[in-house]
Amino acid sequence: MSQLIAPSILAADFSELGKASQMIDRSQADWFHIDVMDGVFVPNISFGMPVIKSIRHLSDKVFDVHLMIVNPDRYIKDFKAAGADVLTVHYEACTHLHRSIQAIKAEGMKAGVALNPHTPVNVLQEIIQDIDLVCLMSVNPGFGGQSFIENTLDKVRSLKHLIKVKNSKALIEIDGGVSSANAMELIECGANVLVAGSFVFKSENPEATIEELKSIAYSSPSK
State pLDDT tens for residues 177-202.
999 999 999 999 999 999 999 999 99
CA distance to 19, 20, 21, 32, 183, per residue, from 26 (Å)? 11, 10, 9, 12, 22
Q: Which of 35, 38, 64, 132 is catalytic?
A: 35
In sequence order, the β-bridge partners of residue 7 are 196
Rounded CA-CA distance 149/95 in Å is: 27
Amino acid at 41: F
Percent of the chain with pLDDT strictly greater than 90: 91
Domain CATH code at residue 97 = 3.20.20.70
Taking the whole predicted model, whether its pTM rises above 0.85 is answered as yes
Least confident residue range of 35-39, 42-46, 94-98, 145-149: 145-149
Rounded CA-CA distance 146/153 in Å is: 16
| Structure confidence at residue 142 as a pLDDT band (50, 70, 90) | low
Amino acid at 29: A
Cβ atoms of residues 89 and 103 within 8 Å = no
In sequence order, the β-bridge partners of residue 171 are 133
For residue 141, pLDDT beyond 80: no
Rounded CA-CA distance 15/29 in Å is: 21
Helices and strands (H, E) in the chain, number of each type:
8, 8
**Is residue 78 among the annotated active site residues?**
no
Q: Which of 38, 64, 132, 175 is catalytic?
A: 175
Amino acid at 60: D
**Is residue 35 among the annotated active site residues?**
yes
DSSP string, 5-38: EEEBGGGS-GGGHHHHHHHHHHSS--EEEEEEEB
Cβ atoms of residues 61 and 30 within 8 Å = yes
What contacts 2, CB < 8 A, 6 or more positions away? Answer: 217, 218, 222
How many independent structural domains does the chain possess?
1
Q: Which domain covers residue 71, as residue numbers?
A: 4-219
In sequence order, the β-bridge partners of residue 88 are 66, 112
State pLDDT tens for residues 74-93.
999 999 999 999 999 999 99
pLDDT of residue 222: 55
Neighbouring C-beta atoms of residue 30, cutoff 10 Å: 20
Length of the chain: 223
Phi, psi of 14 (to 5 degrees): -65, -25
Least confident residue range of 23-27, 136-140, 154-158, 160-164: 136-140
Angle, alpha carbons 143-50-107 (nearest 5°): 95
pLDDT of residue 223: 45
HSE value, Cβ hemisphere, 13 Å, CA-based, for 34 = 29
